Structure formats: C-alpha cells, structure tokens
Amino acid sequence: MISATVGRGAVLGAVALSLLGVPAQAAPGQARAESAAALPAPDTAALREVLRSAVAQGAPGAMARIDDNGAMYTAARGFADRGAQRAIHATDRFRIGSVTKTFSAVVLLQLMDERKLSLDASVNRYLPGLLPDDRITVRHLLSHRSGLYDYTNDLFAKTVSGFEAVRDKVYTYRQLVDLSLKKPRTDPPGTAYSYSNTNFVVAGMLIEKLTGRSVRSAYENRIFKPLKLNDTAYVHPDVKIPGRYARGYLTPDRAGAPLVDSTEQTASWAQSAGAIISSPRDLNTFLSALAGGRLLSSAALSEMKRFTKVNSTTAYGLGLRRRDLSCGVSVYGHTGVVQGYYTYAFTNKDGRRSVTALANTSNNTTVLNTMAGTLESAFCGKRSNPKRAKAVFERTEDVAPTVVRH
Ligand code: HEL
C-alpha cells in the first residue's frame, strides 16, 4: 500500500492494489465501451487533479475511490474537519443525499419482483386518497414524471436560513407531501420529466405501506446487511453520523461569508429521498451489485434502465441516472446534494468499475461541476476529451434553479 502526504492537509494517492490487470484500451472506432474489460485504465493523475481543483475552488476536502474489477484506487485532498485540521480520507462516511433515491428505487423494484407492486398501478391504489390524481403511477414517481411539485424549492430558496430552519425539524412523510400539494403540479402525470424530492417521499410511504416496516428496516434487511455495507446507515431522525466521517460545510449565498458547518442535521426534509449515510467503499459495492444483477431480477433492472432524456448528456431511469461521458461510455448511478456534501457515485454497465467521489461542501456550483470530472478520469482514462468534458460539466444539472444556483 502506497500512501503519500503531499503538502499541508493533502493526502494523495493511496494505491491499495495495483491497477495491473486493467485491460488495454478499446479498439479504435469502438464508440461505446460498455463492459469494464473494454474501458481504458483510469487516469489517476487526472483524478487527483480534479480533487485538487475542487479544494482550490472552496471545498475544504475532496476524495474519491475507484473499484475496478478487484483493484482499488483512492485519492484524497484537504480536510474532513477544518477545526481539528484532520485530513479527509476515502474511508470517511458522509451524507449521500439523493444517491438515497437509488436505494429506495431498488427496494420498490424488489417488491415488484415479489409481485407486491405494479409499476404502472396508481399510487392511490396502495395509498388510498394520498394524491389528488389517480393517474399518477409508481413509475411516474420513480422517473420524476408525476408532476408533483418539489417542496424543497421553497424550503431552500434561502440557503443558510432555509437550512437552519429545518436542521432540527422532524417531519412526517405526510407533512412533506402536504407541503408539495399546497403548490400547483408542474405537469400532467407522465408528460414531462421534472425532478422532485416529493416523488421519493411518496416512494418511502409506499415502502412502509407494502413492507409494514420502516424504510430503515427495508434498507437494512434488503440491501445494507446482504451486501455487508457496514459504513452505511439510515439514522433519521438522529442528527449524528456514526463512525469516522467528513464534516459538511455549506457555502452561504453571500460571497465571502464563512462556510457553515452543516454536519449535524435530522435530514428529515429528505428521508427516503436523501437521508442515507455511506462511504465510497459501500456505494461502489452497492452500484456494482446493482449493475451486476445481484439485487434485482433482470426484468426489474431493465425497468430501472428505461431512461428519459434529461439533456444531451444525462438521462433518468427509475431512481437511476445515466451520464454519457466524453469518450462515449455511459455510466449509471446518482448524484447527491445535501447541505455540506456533494456526491458522485457511478458504475459502468457490467458493474465492474465504480467510482464514488465526495467534496465536503455544497451550494458551490463550480465545485459541483469540477467533481463531475472524477467520472471522466475514472471511466475515460487518458482518452478523455477535456474540451468536450468541460462543455458537458458546465451544463446545468436538472435542478430547480432556486435549489442549486447555476
Ligand atoms: S438536488 C439535485 C440532487 N438532489 C436533489 C437533492 C439531491 N437535494 C436537495 O434537494 C437539496 C437542495 C438544497 C441544497 C443546498 C446546498 O447546495 O446545500 N442548496 C441551496 O440551499 C440553494 N439555495 C438534483 C442536484 C441530485 O443530484 O439528484 O441530492
């Protein structure tokens, strides 16, 4: 194991296993290298450079871990804890935000596999009277095509005061749905993609109704325990992150204002839409198991991968994002934005190469876009076209402008 500390507060390049055995690049002209065997080797120098840039742009720390067919590479730079001046490490836990949506979708698709749920059934069939429109189906929720307004647009219109107003609050699912239903719906059911946390709050209600247990026990019994995800937890409404973790630092809207330590919060505004805590090792294991067909039937995985186009480089399936990289490779996973934490967690088609990257800040779009470069370095290797990649990552992610400013 090689690990080096470079400069003040920077920990770079822990190569736990050599990357020997990574197959040669795909043949010229091969447009889409989908299996890990056809991917170029990760560009680890470029990965370190992405993390360095994120820290230079205001993230206290940034780290990433690539798992590649049994080989593993980690890199980290900057601080997990600014006060204690503790260096961030790729084993640190953190709040994964909306990567939680992939876990929630997996639970519902397992229930579909068990014939307890039909994707095209009305949500109101399972939760009578909850939604004002019987045409909204489970598939509409999981693909963000329900038209249900995203209540977080209002909660976080003001970044710091919005966060402070909810950080200790405990909401019921019903209260969150009611916040959404106070506003007109964005589109008729099934007609348009419009990202909304409300969809995955209702997904959590469905999980609880159909299993008769809490979402926490569904995640634990169906995913965390079978995959031995020992760094992963759903502690809502507890505010503390268990184990060793990176602190989160929220960037205020006012330029030059000090970062706000946002580590401790109930994350009750998010719950089944965004309250899981995890680590790079566990997220890579989860996505690899998902893409490798170890969590769902092939029919359910195919449903999850029926994508709606979001923009020229991203698409959304069922609780699953697809990103089309500059080298023609498509990767599958999710991004997460929760106060103080930006996460990218993606895997390739066969699940043999996965990357999870974290910057422990948020409300800093420059850092968010920079961190997308971890996908290019992990999956495109040195073949990445920096010009195209830059254009891709300067694009606005599919978020309400009031929530993440671009
Ligand atoms: S937003 C996203 C990301 N998702 C959605 C969800 C998540 N996160 C949220 O809804 C939190 C929004 C507030 C974030 C906060 C900050 O930056 O910490 N911003 C403000 O308060 C701005 N006023 C679609 C980006 C996803 O990638 O799926 O996670």
343 lines ligand 1 (CB under 6 A): no
Q: Which residues of the chain have pLDDT under 50?
A: 1-31, 391-406
What pLDDT sits at residue 164? 98
The one catalytic residue among 3, 18, 53, 98: 98
Q: Give the CA distances from residue 106 to residues 67, 264, 300, 405, in Å, rounded to whole numbers and listed in that order.
A: 21, 27, 9, 30
66-83 pLDDT tens trace: 999 999 999 999 999 999
Spatial separation of the C-alpha atoms in residues 313 and 245, rounded to whole Å: 32
CA distance 328 to 104: 29
Give the pLDDT of residue 255. 94
pLDDT of residue 21: 27
CA distance 108 to 131: 18
What angle in degrees, to the nearest 10, is found between the helix axes of 197-211 and 173-181? 140
Cα distances (Å, whole numbers) of residue 384 to 6, 155, 328: 26, 38, 9
Pocket test for ligand 1, best of 358, 403, 405 (most atoms within 8 A of CB): 403
Question: What's the first-to-final CA gap in the chain, in angstroms?
Answer: 40
pLDDT of residue 31: 40
Write down the pLDDT at residue 36: 82
pLDDT of the residue at 10: 37
What span, in angstroms and rounded, lies between the C-alpha atoms of 381 and 344? 17
Q: Is the CB of 150 under 6 A from ligand 1?
A: no
Query: Does the CB atom of residue 319 touch ligand 1 within 6 A?
Result: no
What's residue 386's pLDDT?
A: 57
For position 393, what pLDDT does the model report?
44
Which residue, by CA, sits nearest to atom 27 of ligand 1? 335
Q: Taking Cα atoms as reference points, which of 93, 51, 393 lies closest to residue 240?
A: 93
pLDDT recorded at residue 32? 54
10 Å Cβ neighbour count for 63? Answer: 29
Q: How far apart are CA 329 and CA 173, in angstroms?
A: 38
Whether this prediction's pTM lies above 0.75 is answered by yes
Give the DSSP letter of residue 221. Answer: I
pLDDT at 389: 53
Give the model's pLDDT for residue 387.
59
Ligand 1 center–CA 403 separation, angstroms: 6
The pLDDT score that the predictor gives to residue 37 is 80
